[in-house]
Amino acid sequence: MSETRDLFPGFATHRIVHDGVTLHARVGGSGPPLVLLHGYPQTHVCWHRVAPKLAETHTIVAMDLRGYGASSAPDGGGATDAGHAVYSKRAMARDVVAVMAALGHARFAVMGHDRGARVAYRLALDSPEAITRLVLLDILPTVEQWDNMRWQSAMRAYHWAFLAQPAPLPETLIAGAPAYYVDHTLASWTRDGTLAALEPAALAHYRALLADPARAHAVCEDYRAGATYDREADAVDRAADRRITTPTLLLWGSDYLGRGAVNPLDIWRRWCTDVRGEAIVSGHFLVEENPEAVLAAVGSFLDAGS
């Protein structure tokens, strides 16, 4: 069945333990290392249309964030994690460094989409010595996202507040119809409002994510961390005028972030010393809706830093 086929043929599978969390990664190709970090409600398989091409010139590490995909889902948000640090982007960034170190890479490029892009820019802020190039897909900084929330963006990104509600409210509601919830979320963020651009085998992975109660809880903890720990960490950096010094490429969907009230590049110029970017004709899922345009933009950017 297509739904169970391997979307990364020829890539090796690695399972690396860090901080009590088992992290799953697919590794292929050769050349300068590039780690790929997925977003919500997805897993590492979202990169299946661009990873083989990127692997022609780079060593590709497509990993599942903690709580997602085949990585383990540590409990978070309990009495010992009232600040939601377990699923903070700082903790996830440390996971990335540990995975790459275990694979023999002290310095590497990072490309992240959605939640993975939040991990990527937090990594660039906390550990700039580890990052050679930074590619961010379709996000604003977390604190800016909250600060710029208007009725239009709140309607489109209602899940920011919904998933961040105290447990077990969102977990319980999602459990009532997880496949419907995932399909609705994905379709509502594509350019054409359907699932047509998404590979059925990848969709099977995304549906499985929130069908698992432990991972549904992990996803909610990710967003609870976004509303608390991550937002506050960003606010501290912004107040101190700490900037990302790694050369950065920002790509955004013409029919998702590009429909907002602010210019994404204008926002990121306040956070980065060296940033460039462009809109990609797509909804939120750039690498699945328009992989050719993403590869064209990313390839020249990465080649310039090799």
**Which residues are catalytic, by number?**
114, 284
Q: How far is CA 51 from the centre of its chain?
A: 15
Helix (H, G, I), strand (E, B) or coil at 140: coil
Query: What are the b/e assignments for 165-188, b being 16+ CB within 10 Å?
Result: eeeeebbeebeeebeebbbeebbe
Q: Tell me the C-alpha to C-alpha distance, in Å, between residue 189 and each of 69, 99, 195, 255.
A: 20, 30, 9, 8
Q: Are 69 and 44 in contact (CB under 8 A)?
A: yes
Looking at the chain, how many residues does it have? 306
User: Reading across the β-sheet that carries 275-280, which strands appear in turn?
Assistant: 12-18, 21-29, 59-63, 33-37, 108-113, 131-137, 248-253, 275-280
Angle at 47 between CA 171 and CA 175, to 5 degrees: 15
Strand partners, 131: 108
Q: Are 117 and 249 in contact (CB under 8 A)?
A: no
Q: Tell me the C-alpha to C-alpha distance, in Å, between residue 287 and each of 75, 96, 251, 292, 298.
A: 30, 21, 10, 8, 11
Tokens linked to 41 = 């409600």
Residues 6+ apart with CB under 8 A from 294: 50, 137, 251, 280, 286, 287
